[in-house]
Amino acid sequence: MIKIYHNPRCQKSREGLKVLENSGKEFEVVKYLEEVPTKEELRKVLDCLAITPEMLVRKNEAVWKENYRGKLLSHEEILDAMILYPKLIERPIVINGGKAVIGRPANLVEDIL
């Protein structure tokens, strides 16, 4: 089943959701600010994306700049930060099978459908 980690307040995330809606395929919406992923779920997302935790962080968020920027953090510490402050997680993330994309721009979502 296709899954989208979605933030309804984010325009880019809404655009990614629209691509899924227009595809006619079934999918699951995870509002990750309300249903914060576990560390294990984040690890699986990172595996599907084939990126490091730091590459999934929204580094322009104030909470990142105020608390983490410039610090040498382990992957575990970055995962902990994303769980503590889920708005740090890039969005939208769309997973289909063992593959995933960060849907920025939204047309990247089409690549894994």
Residue 39, domain CATH: 3.40.30.10
Closest CA to 13 of 83, 105, 82: 105
Amino acid identity for residue 97 in this structure: G
According to the model, what pLDDT value does residue 66 have? 97
CA gap 20, 65 in Å, rounded: 32
- Beta carbons within 8 Å of 30's beta carbon, 6+ residues apart: 3, 4, 5, 6, 37
CA gap 33, 26 in Å, rounded: 22
Boundaries of domain holding 55: 2-110
According to the model, what pLDDT value does residue 19 have? 97
According to the model, what pLDDT value does residue 89 have? 98
Helix (H) or strand (E) holding 99: strand 99-102
According to the model, what pLDDT value does residue 103 have? 96
According to the model, what pLDDT value does residue 35 have? 96
| Catalytic residue selected from 1, 6, 7, 10 | 10
Task: Write out the chain's pLDDT in tens, 113 residues.
Answer: 999 999 999 999 999 999 999 999 999 999 999 999 999 999 999 999 999 999 999 999 999 999 999 999 999 999 999 999 999 999 999 999 999 999 999 999 999 99
Packing angle of the helix pair 75-84, 39-49 (nearest 10 deg): 120
Tokens matching residue 110: 């089409």
Tokens matching residue 68: 């983490």
Domain count, the chain: 1
Does the annotation mark 48 as catalytic? no
According to the model, what pLDDT value does residue 26 have? 97
